Amino acid sequence: MNGQTAVLVLEDGRTFTGQVLGATGSTVGEIVFSTGMTGYQETLTDPSYHRQIVVMTAPHIGNTGMNEEDPESTRIWVAGYVVRDPAIRPSSWRSTRSLAEALEAEGIVGISDIDTRALTRHLRERGVMRAGIFSGDGLVDGSGRRRVEQDLLDVVTASPVMSGADLAREVTVAEPYTVQPLRGPASGTEPVATVVAVDLGIKSMTPHRLAERGVRTHVVPAGTTVQEVLALAPDGVFFSNGPGDPAAAVHEVELLRGVLDRRIPFFGICYGHQLLGRALGFGTYKLTYGHRGVNQPVLDRRTKKVEITAHNHGFAVDAPIDHDAVAPCDGGRYGRVTVSHVALNDGVVEGLECLDLPAFSVQYHPEAAAGPHDADYLFDRFIELMASGRTHRPPGTHDGFAPATTPRTAEESDAAPN
């Protein structure tokens, strides 16, 4: 403990005084809590946490230090970090540096030694809100005087809100890159399928899970056009997780509709799921305090089985759970949709499946990292979907539904225009 004071100020005026963790200075963002007891390194490097101050409910964080294998991206994304008892000395045969060192090196302002449970209960009751962490220079004004609380509060209330924020562009890759399959079929090199993954804040474990299954993944930046996607002749398209308000992602929704119109098999995770919801014409809304943790029970309504899953979402899709519905998007051009997965804790929509199109998505994280592997099977479902997508398949038809485009065959897809 370096004994330097840090102050956490919440939008509603509640403050907590603790000690500096990582860098000193000031930071603002939306404050959220995560109940995962393991996986802090994955959490810190998950782009979905961009612009968020993360509170860890588990008191001891940093015990196993930071290692080379576990990061989910190339940098730490959280806007600030709140831990009760950060480890003084990490202990793990894989650790290369301590949590505090990593935070300091990447300039992440954090706070420790506060009652994180009191804070969590407060956020649970009042809902997530904006907050700021201030220490060192962050606590003094231009003339070197200690800033009064009102000052700090003003900084917080002046900061942007999460609703309406379009953040994908801030976290996505600059240049496309390709993740090769780890194992092909018997022959060896040949991938079982080629996927274009639109990076809206993708975690490195996602292409890895596909690669494990013999899939080649082209990761492309947000803002990629449907032509650019088709140029890569994908068997399927994937939309990743990511930060921000899905309502703001106008371009990505258009891109996704282009994919659906061409009946290209689609799989979306988290933000990608919310975008499928919007593309289909459903609304999205902000949860009071969201789902963030690795212990969340989700019911797969097809198999009636419960899977324990990793969650990190503040928004959710507003779709009818009790019955299958025709996707509202202009007069139901995408046919019927069913809610495939539901959160057992609070009944939130956790998965969508199109009944007349090769498209599905989940709100949670089958790629885990951090978290349990119960939902692995979804990557296999995606691969099956692509397999059947490549073979000529007639459109599902029912009263009044006629597909907007003619069924797309393997040949067409391979000969996609450039």
Partner 1 sequence: MPRRTDISSVLVIGSGPIVIGQAAEFDYSGTQACRVLRAEGLRVILVNSNPATIMTDPEFADATYIEPITPDVVEAIIAKERPDAILPTLGGQTALNIAIALAEAGVLQRHGVEMIGVNPASIRLAEDRQAFKGVVQRCGAECARSLIAHTMDEVLASAAELGYPVVVRPSFTMGGLGSGIAYDEPQLRRIADSGLHYSPTTEVLLEESILGWKEYELELMRDHVDNVVVVCSIENVDPVGVHTGDSVTVAPALTLTDREYQRLRDIGIAVIREVGVDTGGCNIQFAVHPQSGRVVVIEMNPRVSRSSALASKATGFPIAKIAARLAVGYTLDEIPNDITGSTPASFEPSLDYIVVKVPRFAFEKFPAADPTLTTTMKSVGEAMALGRNFTEALGKAMRSIDKAGSVFHWDGPVPSGGVLAALLPSIAVPTEHRLIQVQQVLRSVGRPGGADIADVYAATGIDPWFLDQIELVNEVAGDVATAPEMAPDLLARAKRHGLSDAQIAGLRGISEDTVREVRQALGIRPVFKTVDTCAAEFAARTPYHYSAYDDETEVQPRTRPAIIVLGSGPNRIGQGIEFDYSCVHAVLALRDDYETIMINCNPETVSTDYDTSDRLYFEPLTFEDVLEVYQAELAVGPVTGVIVQLGGQTPLSLAERLQAAGVPILGTPPAAIDAAEDRGVFGRVLQDAGLPAPAFGTARTLEQATSVAHRIGYPVLVRPSYVLGGRGMEIVYSDAQLAEYVGRALEGARVAASGPTAEIPPLLIDRFLDDAIELDVDALYDGTDLYLGGVMEHIEEAGIHSGDSACVLPPVTISTAELARVRRSTEAIARGVGVRGLLNVQFALVSDVLYVLEANPRASRTAPFVSKATGVPLAKAAALVMAGATIAELRASGVLPASGDGGSLSLRAPIAVKEAVLPFKRFRTAEGTVVDTVLGPEMRSTGEVMGIDVDFPTAFAKSQAAAFGGLPTGGTAFISVADRDKRAITFPVKRLTEMGFTILATEGTAAVLHRNGVASTVVRKASEGRVDGGPTIVDLITAGEVDIVVNTPSGQGARADGYEIRTATVAADKPIVTTVQQLAAAVQAIESLRAGPFAVRSLQDHAFELRDRSVAR
Residues at the contact surface with partner 1, assessed by CB under 8 A: 16, 33, 35-39, 41-42, 57-60, 63-64, 67, 69-70, 84-85, 87-94, 114-118, 120-121, 124, 293-297, 299, 304-306, 308, 344-346, 368-373
Nearest approach in angstroms of CB 267 to partner 1 is 22
Asked if residue 357 lies in contact with residue 263, where contact means CB atoms within 8 angstroms, the answer is: yes
For residue 126, give both structure tokens.
């009042």
The residue among 224 and 309 lying less far from partner 1, judged by its C-beta, is 309
Beta-sheet pairing, 336-343 with 283-300? antiparallel
Q: Which residues contact 240 (CB under 8 A, 6 or more apart)?
A: 197, 198, 199, 200, 201, 202, 203, 206, 268, 269, 270, 271, 272
Nearest approach in angstroms of CB 369 to partner 1 is 7
CA distance 154 to 167: 23
Nearest approach in angstroms of CB 126 to partner 1 is 13
The residue among 230 and 294 lying less far from partner 1, judged by its C-beta, is 294
Q: How many CB atoms lie within 10 A of CB 254?
A: 13
Which residue in the list 252, 270, 341, 354 is annotated as catalytic? 270
The residue among 129 and 193 lying less far from partner 1, judged by its C-beta, is 129
Helix (H) or strand (E) holding 275: helix 271-279
Establish whether 125 is a catalytic residue. no
Nearest to 325, CA basis, from 337, 317, 310, 315: 337
The residue among 112 and 224 lying less far from partner 1, judged by its C-beta, is 112
- Cα dihedral 41→238→235→277 (10° resolution): 150
CA distance 352 to 11: 34
Nearest approach in angstroms of CB 243 to partner 1 is 21
CA distance 153 to 9: 6
Going by the DSSP 8-state scheme, the letter that residue 146 receives in this structure is: B
Nearest approach in angstroms of CB 125 to partner 1 is 9
Nearest approach in angstroms of CB 128 to partner 1 is 13
Which residue in the list 11, 104, 307, 367 is annotated as catalytic? 367
The residue among 330 and 346 lying less far from partner 1, judged by its C-beta, is 346
Phi, psi of 359 (to 5 degrees): -145, 135
CA distance from start to end of the chain: 59
- Cα dihedral 253→255→258→264 (10° resolution): -100
Nearest approach in angstroms of CB 57 to partner 1 is 4
Report which residue type is found at 315. Answer: F
Establish whether 398 is a catalytic residue. no
The residue among 68 and 411 lying less far from partner 1, judged by its C-beta, is 68
In the numeric block, the tokens 């009946």 are attached to 263
The residue among 48 and 172 lying less far from partner 1, judged by its C-beta, is 48
Beta-sheet pairing, 60-61 with 193-199? unpaired
Establish whether 354 is a catalytic residue. no
Q: Mapping DSSP to helix (H, G, I), strand (E, B) and coil, where does residue 221 land?
A: strand
Q: Would you name the residues annotated as active-site residues?
A: 270, 365, 367
